[in-house]
């Protein structure tokens, strides 16, 4: 059982705003040629021409067209239908215009001779119809001349181009004179001169001449150009002249042969003579007297043969009249009971048709009440087959471009009980309108009676109601997860971070196929394995395909060929085995799109794609293990859904993901059919427009898919446009193109496509000209700068979800969960407890680095440098005090821990893994972490800043073997032998951190430090045997030198600790020994390495002036040391300035290049006190409120000490200032894109 739910949101509302006039296919369908068929292909018979429902449709063609339409029905009357038949002209056409021929003039047998007559030739014009486009007008007039030259008899012709319409009436009896006099050439010459500035005409006419002796040609411009041409031709048909022009001039007279009426056979009737009376036909301008003369009888005798008081006053052209006694012939029904029929011509009207067939107008009205296309005599349409006798109505005349209904060419009369309207139904059970066009919107689906005449509205499958089935057993909440999201430079998400409470199903996108139909997971390998192994309550479904795979080279043909009968079994087995063997819950196929004829850059699809797809799905269903789901993704576009046998597919599938997003995008640029009512395309429209979504839902449910099997698409991204006119944000405002002018998202990095997470960040941080609002499309709109974005907020998605549930749909499908919000980087796998140990080690490494930084060549700690880095360090500084390569490395190490040094603010980005198995691409069979490896490091440069990766191995976390610096100091205090033995300081976790950071190329070491020696003995031997130039390439040499100086400083020793604790200086160099606990530097990423879920900081933005990003990341933390206030520094964004200018002012100003920057000024200290080094007295006073700033002999920095004891409170704070007030001696950090600043206490 099913029932109808009528959507209360009226589809007609939006179309009422955009469409005016009668309903019909007023814009070309996607893929349809904007111009009609070529005249030389379709021929001269207008019944074979392309048929359009209104004049509006003509504007989409930029070529010259020959038109045929009813002259009697005013094109300016919007209450009437307007059938326009058209073909595209080609001046070289050899087609004979048989339609315009009439019977040649033939003298009567009595031998009477013709006489010569003259008539005035008038040129006239209007001044108020707009400027005439001379080139257009000449081209159109010359095309008319081509047609007229090849025709004979009377000609009625309309030629149309973008800016000009030409109408011509050329009577048969004046044709030769007009051609001989060159009147058409004179008219074209006049148009080509500078004289005409607006619509203009030439005419030979007058009531006394009659239509057969009339000639007129008009070139019209302006919005009503075709109406003006129609009115002029109608005037000439009725033997009168066009009046009411703004000016006129005489072109002299024309001389022509005037055959006496009794000598002329005028347009013979198709019935003469076959009745008791002999007949002739009335010509335009004839009277009873002229007719009696042609019959050769007196007027009185003529009237006796043709009685009636109004007969002589109601004569019509082509009307038969009796010249002898008897009755006029009238058409009779055909033997099968069908009526005698007649096809309406462009110059017809009912009185003329009735008179020509010796019937009355009321006969026509009565006999055609049930005739297809009959709109009464007041609305007579060209090309309509009508009854001119009693009998059953005829089949409608075929329409060359009809795709549904009885006018499809080749359609035959159906049997009894079959309605003509039901013939040739539309695909998807979509609406068929009177004009034989299929569609799903109001202009196709509005039935007669809803303010629409019967023959202008829908004829079959009418209406836009959604057909709702019983509600589903479970309302599914499905999300796609883009397994390729780690390829983005930020906004990365791990499959484990999906909130299971929000979703019932997760689709992993995408798994690829090779050309031999084998499974290929390489593009998403790491996340695929995480997905496969994920333990979750959500249904895990893998998705094959997607746009890039199925609609772009080189893989677009894999689905096309794989579903052919010869390959179907192989493809189905491959997919089914993969799903079954990996214990997945189902499979989803996303082929975009079978049978599509117009996808850019690839060959058109085949009409067989849809049936092949159906057969493949049926086969795949049989190969999946019981309980596995099978689904597909389907487009919400009528054009692309048409090739799907979707009703039959719905019977096989568990559900269909209906992609009701991307309804609009940059591809709409100058697309004439993409946006209703948008002249020329390129209007700002929402890609999640609710009206269009509901229309699409009507389409697929009418097509036969139960609503409870349809998962309605919602989006977690916006489609953005560059506004053509800043500030113009409505649905009729335009966007720029062809390339998108929208601002790129920082992570998606694609103009025209921006993630909800990026949108939220823009709203939170602000942007120039930012506006937020909703619109009639039930979308959220964001405007900033010159960018316009339509998207769905969480609240909007919730309301849409409720609506779809109420309508009986099976659920919602969200593309995609990884675009919703910024996630804390999970790749390091670090717990809060582990993060605290890394923070502690980082800070302790900073303490060592600070003391090391105080070294100066030949100073008090030189002997430690001699021992571990070689005596060449004595000459490391030049005459001006600038450090050499050793001092530069030491200084950079200091600065990565204390980035506040004004002259050299260094910020870098690093990523630390607490567990090797969390490294993307980790190979359990070939781990880098050996039994004695504490950590390993590699560099992988990022965007605008360096990226460094450190993996902390299990030995680093073996606290029975390693210790903190603080623990070592406590252990060594009072034990001088312990202090002076360097091996005791090898297990210090801070020393490992120091060692690893010395591997960071450019950020710390240049050239990059390697691993040449580890043990204290080997490090000392390296310095002694190979000198400073070699030792400075060894990371451990710097780490041990720094450690030695720290020990000397802490316990005020004059000599450094040595290998084995022997007295300084130790003896001669010894053989190398086996190293114990080691740290490893990799020359590149480990084998199988895939960039992890979050490798780079999102906030603050990289500052080109600093050449850096933010500080280091520890597991889920992005480190930022507390207390920065870089007085005088300039930043590109307020966000950057607020980080590095705490408790101070960020003032916007212009730099020397005229660019807007934010300058840090008035550092005040903010009341905090942080023990430690500061580069100068001012910095120390700002950061040492309540403590004491002292300068100590031998130290470069000002030291803050004696800060009051203050608590460190873990938690999340609004900003760095608030965090600094509550995180004393801790670390304040910003996770990637996540609101708030986190305090991690030691």
pLDDT of 899 > 60? The answer is: no
What is the mean predicted confidence (pLDDT) over 38-54?
91
Tokens of 166: 């030409």
Span 599-635, pLDDT tens digits: 999 999 999 999 999 999 999 999 999 999 999 999 9
- pTM, two decimal places: 0.67
Span 978-1030, pLDDT tens digits: 999 999 999 999 999 999 999 998 888 989 999 999 999 999 999 999 999 99
Candidate from 266-270, 425-429, 680-684, 1000-1004 with smallest mean pLDDT: 266-270
Yes or no: say if 280 and 294 are a contact pair by the CB < 8 Å rule. yes
Distances (CA, A) of 21 to 25, 28, 336, 850: 12, 17, 40, 81
Q: How big is the CA angle at 490 (ends 489 and 492), to the nearest 5 degrees?
A: 115
Residue 269 C-alpha from the chain's centroid: 60
Q: What is the pLDDT of residue 87?
A: 96
DSSP conformational letter for 8: S
pLDDT of 654 > 80? The answer is: yes
For residues 284 and 352, give the distance between their C-alpha atoms in angstroms, rounded to a whole number: 11
Q: What's the CATH architecture for 468-716+804-819? A: Alpha-Beta Barrel (3.20)
pLDDT of 1138 > 70? The answer is: no
Q: Which residues contact 1132 (CB under 8 A, 6 or more apart)?
A: 1101, 1103, 1104, 1105, 1157, 1158
In sequence order, what DSSP letters do the residues of 160-178 get, joined into one string?
A: EETTEEEEEEE-TTTHHHH
Q: What is the pLDDT of residue 1130?
A: 62
Span 400-434, pLDDT tens digits: 999 999 999 999 999 888 999 999 999 999 999 98
Q: Is the dihedral of CA 1070, 1074, 1080, 1081 positive or negative?
A: positive
Confidence of residue 451 (pLDDT cuts 50, 70, 90): low
Q: What is the pLDDT of residue 717?
A: 98
CB atoms within 10 A of CB 578: 18
Q: What is the pLDDT of residue 6?
A: 29
Confidence of residue 110 (pLDDT cuts 50, 70, 90): very low
| Chain mean pLDDT for the chain | 83
Tokens of 490: 């930020």
Tokens of 1206: 């203050």
For residues 687 and 325, give the distance between their C-alpha atoms in angstroms, rounded to a whole number: 75
For residues 493 and 481, give the distance between their C-alpha atoms in angstroms, rounded to a whole number: 9
Evaluate whether 260-329 and 832-1081 have a shared fold: no
Confidence of residue 1127 (pLDDT cuts 50, 70, 90): low
Yes or no: say if 916 and 929 are a contact pair by the CB < 8 Å rule. yes
What is the mean predicted confidence (pLDDT) over 356-385?
93
Q: What is the CATH number of domain 832-1081?
A: 3.40.390.10
DSSP helix/strand/coil, 16: helix
Span 705-741, pLDDT tens digits: 999 999 999 999 999 999 999 889 988 999 999 999 9
Residue 308 C-alpha from the chain's centroid: 71
Yes or no: say if 303 and 325 are a contact pair by the CB < 8 Å rule. no
Q: What is the pLDDT of residue 526?
A: 77
Span 533-585, pLDDT tens digits: 999 999 999 999 999 999 999 999 999 999 999 999 999 999 999 999 999 99
What is the mean predicted confidence (pLDDT) over 489-493?
77
Q: What is the pLDDT of residue 685?
A: 96
Tokens of 492: 């990365």
For residues 454 and 207, give the distance between their C-alpha atoms in angstroms, rounded to a whole number: 39
Q: What is the pLDDT of residue 1107?
A: 29
Q: Which of 778, 666, 678 is nearest to 723 (CA)?
A: 666
Q: What is the pLDDT of residue 257?
A: 75
Q: Residue 728: which H helix or E strand, with range?
A: none
Q: What's the CATH architecture for 260-329? A: Roll (3.10)
Q: What is the pLDDT of residue 998?
A: 95
Span 929-964, pLDDT tens digits: 988 899 999 887 643 344 688 899 989 988 878 899
For residues 375 and 366, give the distance between their C-alpha atoms in angstroms, rounded to a whole number: 12
Q: What is the pLDDT of residue 918?
A: 76
Yes or no: say if 505 and 478 are a contact pair by the CB < 8 Å rule. yes
Confidence of residue 1163 (pLDDT cuts 50, 70, 90): low
Q: What is the pLDDT of residue 457?
A: 84
Q: What is the pLDDT of residue 229?
A: 96
Q: What are the boundaries of each domain within the chain?
A: 114-259, 260-329, 468-716+804-819, 832-1081
% pLDDT > 70, the chain: 82
Q: What is the pLDDT of residue 693?
A: 98
Q: What is the pLDDT of residue 539?
A: 98
For residues 201 and 246, give the distance between their C-alpha atoms in angstroms, rounded to a whole number: 12
For residues 1117 and 489, give the distance between their C-alpha atoms in angstroms, rounded to a whole number: 17
Q: What is the pLDDT of residue 113?
A: 44
For residues 1059 and 535, give the distance between their C-alpha atoms in angstroms, rounded to a whole number: 51
Q: What is the pLDDT of residue 315?
A: 82
For residues 439 and 426, give the distance between their C-alpha atoms in angstroms, rounded to a whole number: 8
Q: What is the pLDDT of residue 1142?
A: 61
For residues 1168 and 1183, give the distance between their C-alpha atoms in angstroms, rounded to a whole number: 6
CB atoms within 10 A of CB 453: 17
Q: Which of 861, 877, 716, 850 is nearest to 791 (CA)?
A: 716
For residues 133 and 173, give the distance between their C-alpha atoms in angstroms, rounded to a whole number: 32
Confidence of residue 102 (pLDDT cuts 50, 70, 90): very low
Q: What is the pLDDT of residue 1108?
A: 29
What is the mean predicted confidence (pLDDT) over 290-297?
87
Residues with a catalytic annotation lie at 592
Report the greatest alpha carbon distance in the chain.
153
In sequence order, what DSSP letters do the residues of 1029-1040 get, joined into one string?
A: HHHTTBHHHHHH
Yes or no: say if 41 and 50 are a contact pair by the CB < 8 Å rule. no
pLDDT of 98 > 70? The answer is: no
Q: What is the pLDDT of residue 636?
A: 97
Beta bridge partners of 780: 774, 791
% pLDDT > 90, the chain: 53
Confidence of residue 505 (pLDDT cuts 50, 70, 90): very high
For residues 592 and 544, give the distance between their C-alpha atoms in angstroms, rounded to a whole number: 11
Q: Residue 248: which H helix or E strand, with range?
A: strand 247-258
């Amino acid at each position: 059982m099913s029932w109808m739910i009528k959507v209360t949101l009226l589809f007609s509302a939006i179309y009422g705003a955009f469409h005016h006039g009668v309903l019909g296919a007023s814009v070309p369908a996607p893929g349809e040629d904007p111009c009609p068929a070529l005249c030389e292909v379709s021929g001269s018979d207008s019944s074979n021409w392309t048929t359009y429902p209104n004049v509006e449709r003509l504007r989409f063609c930029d070529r010259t067209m020959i038109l045929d339409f009813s002259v009697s029905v005013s094109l300016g009357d919007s209450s009437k239908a307007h059938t326009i038949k058209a073909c595209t002209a080609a001046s070289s056409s050899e087609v004979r215009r048989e339609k315009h021929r009439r019977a040649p003039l033939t003298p009567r047998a009595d031998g009477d001779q013709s006489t010569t007559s003259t008539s005035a030739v008038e040129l006239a014009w209007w001044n108020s119809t707009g400027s005439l486009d001379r080139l257009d007008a000449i081209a159109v007039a010359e095309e008319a001349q081509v047609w007229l030259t090849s025709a004979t008899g009377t000609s009625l012709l309309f030629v149309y181009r973008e800016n000009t319409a030409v109408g011509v009436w050329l009577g048969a009896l004046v044709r030769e004179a007009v051609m001989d006099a060159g009147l058409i050439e004179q008219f074209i010459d006049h148009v080509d001169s500078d004289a005409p500035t607006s619509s203009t005409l030439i005419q030979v006419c007058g009531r006394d001449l009659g239509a057969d002796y009339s000639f007129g040609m008009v070139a019209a411009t302006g919005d009503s150009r075709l109406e003006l041409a129609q009115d002029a031709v109608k005037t000439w048909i009725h033997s009168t002249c066009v009046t009411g022009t703004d000016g006129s001039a005489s072109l002299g007279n024309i001389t022509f042969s005037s055959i006496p009426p009794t000598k002329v056979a005028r347009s013979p009737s198709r019935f003469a003579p076959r009745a008791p009376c002999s007949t002739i036909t009335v010509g335009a301008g004839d009277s009873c007297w002229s007719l009696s003369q042609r019959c050769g009888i007196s007027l009185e005798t003529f009237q006796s043969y043709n009685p009636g008081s109004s007969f002589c006053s109601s004569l019509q052209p082509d009307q038969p009249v009796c010249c002898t006694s008897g009755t006029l012939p009238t058409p009779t029904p055909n033997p099968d009971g069908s009526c005698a029929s007649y096809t309406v011509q462009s110059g017809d009207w009912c009185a003329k048709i009735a008179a020509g067939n010796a019937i009355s107008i009321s006969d026509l009205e009565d006999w055609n009440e049930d005739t297809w296309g009959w709109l009464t005599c007041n609305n007579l349409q060209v090309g309509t087959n009508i009854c001119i006798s009693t009998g059953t109505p005829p089949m409608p005349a075929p329409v060359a471009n009809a795709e549904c209904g009885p006018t499809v060419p080749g359609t035959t009369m159906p049997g009894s009980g079959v309605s003509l309207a039901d013939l040739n139904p539309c695909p998807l059970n979509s609406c068929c309108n009177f004009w034989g066009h299929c569609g799903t919107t109001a202009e196709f689906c509005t039935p007669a009676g809803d303010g629409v005449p019967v023959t202008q509205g829908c004829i079959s499958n009418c209406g836009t109601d959604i057909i709702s089935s019983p509600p589903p057993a479970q309302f599914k909440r499905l999300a796609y997860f883009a397994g390729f999201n780690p390829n983005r430079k930020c906004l990365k998400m791990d499959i484990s971070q999906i909130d299971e409470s929000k979703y019932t199903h997760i689709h992993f996108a995408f798994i690829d196929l090779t050309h031999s139909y084998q499974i290929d997971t390489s593009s998403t390998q790491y996340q695929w394995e995480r997905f496969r192994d994920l333990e979750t309550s959500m249904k895990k479904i893998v998705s094959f395909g997607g746009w890039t795979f199925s609609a772009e080279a080189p893989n677009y043909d894999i689905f096309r060929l794989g579903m052919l009968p010869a390959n179907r079994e192989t493809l189905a087995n491959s997919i089914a085995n993969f799903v079954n063997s990996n214990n997945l819950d189902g499979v989803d196929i996303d082929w975009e799109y079978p049978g599509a004829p117009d996808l850019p850059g690839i060959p058109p699809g085949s009409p067989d794609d849809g049936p092949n797809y159906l057969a493949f799905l049926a086969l795949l269903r049989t190969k999946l293990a019981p309980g596995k789901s099978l689904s597909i993704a389907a487009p919400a576009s009528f054009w692309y859904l048409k090739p799907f046998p979707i009703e039959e597919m719905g019977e096989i599938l568990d559900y269909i993901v209906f992609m009701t997003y991307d309804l609009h995008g940059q591809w709409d640029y100058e697309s004439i059919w993409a946006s209703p009512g948008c002249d020329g395309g390129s209007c700002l429209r929402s890609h999640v427009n609710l009206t269009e979504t509901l229309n699409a839902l009507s389409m697929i449910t009418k097509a036969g898919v139960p609503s409870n099997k349809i998962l309605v698409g919602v989006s977690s991204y916006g489609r953005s446009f560059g506004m053509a006119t800043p500030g113009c944000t409505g649905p009729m405002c335009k966007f720029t193109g062809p390339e998108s002018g929208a601002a790129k998202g920082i992570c998606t990095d694609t103009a025209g496509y921006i993630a909800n997470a990026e949108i939220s960040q823009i709203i939170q941080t602000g942007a120039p000209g930012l506006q937020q609002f909703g619109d009639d499309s039930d979308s959220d709109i964001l405007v900033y700068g010159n960018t316009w974005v339509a998207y769905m907020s969480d609240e909007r998605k919730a309301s849409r979800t409720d609506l779809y549930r109420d309508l009986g749909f099976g659920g919602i499908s969200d593309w995609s969960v990884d675009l919703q919000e910024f996630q804390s980087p999970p790749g390091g796998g670090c717990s809060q407890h582990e993060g605290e140990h890394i923070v502690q080690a980082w800070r302790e490494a900073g303490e060592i680095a600070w003391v090391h930084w105080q070294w100066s060549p030949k100073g008090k700690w030189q002997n430690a440098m001699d021992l571990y880095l070689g005596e060449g360090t004595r000459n490391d500084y030049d005459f001006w005090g600038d450090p050499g390569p050793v001092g530069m490395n030491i200084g950079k190490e200091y600065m990565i821990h204390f980035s506040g040094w004004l002259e050299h603010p260094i910020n870098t980005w690093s990523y630390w893994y607490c567990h090797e198995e969390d490294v993307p691409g980790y190979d359990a069979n070939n781990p880098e972490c050996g039994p004695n490896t504490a950590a390993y490091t590699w560099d992988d440069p990022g965007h605008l800043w360096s990226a460094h990766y450190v993996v902390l191995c299990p030995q680093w976390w073996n606290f029975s073997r390693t210790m903190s610096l603080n623990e070592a100091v406590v252990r060594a205090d009072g034990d001088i032998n312990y202090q002076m033995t360097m091996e005791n300081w090898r297990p210090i976790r801070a020393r490992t951190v120091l060692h690893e950071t010395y591997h960071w190329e450019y950020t710390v070491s240049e050239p990059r430090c390697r691993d040449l020696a580890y043990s204290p003995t080997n490090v000392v031997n390296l310095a002694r045997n190979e000198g400073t130039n070699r030792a400075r390439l060894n990371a451990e040499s710097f780490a041990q030198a720094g450690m030695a100086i720290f020990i000397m400083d802490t316990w005020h020793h004059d000599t450094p600790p040595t290998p084995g604790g022997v007295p300084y200086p130790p003896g001669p160099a010894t053989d190398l020994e086996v190293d114990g606990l080691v740290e490893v530097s990799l020359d590149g990423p480990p084998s199988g390495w895939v960039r992890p879920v979050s490798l780079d900081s999102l906030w603050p933005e990289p500052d080109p002036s600093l050449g850096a990003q933010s500080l280091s990341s520890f597991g889920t933390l992005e480190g930022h040391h507390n207390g920065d206030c870089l007085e005088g520094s300039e930043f590109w964004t307020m966000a950057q300035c607020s980080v590095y200018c705490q408790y101070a002012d960020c003032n916007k100003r212009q730099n020397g290049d005229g660019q807007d920057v934010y300058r840090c000024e008035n550092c005040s200290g903010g009341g905090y006190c942080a023990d430690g080094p500061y580069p100068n007295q001012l910095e120390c006073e700002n950061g040492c409120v309540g403590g004491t700033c002292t300068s100590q002999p031998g130290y470069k920095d000002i030291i803050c000490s004696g800060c009051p004891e203050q608590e460190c409170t873990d938690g999340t704070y609004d900003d760095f200032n608030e965090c600094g007030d509550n995180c004393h001696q801790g670390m304040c950090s910003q996770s990637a894109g996540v609101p708030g600043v986190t305090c991690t206490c030691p």
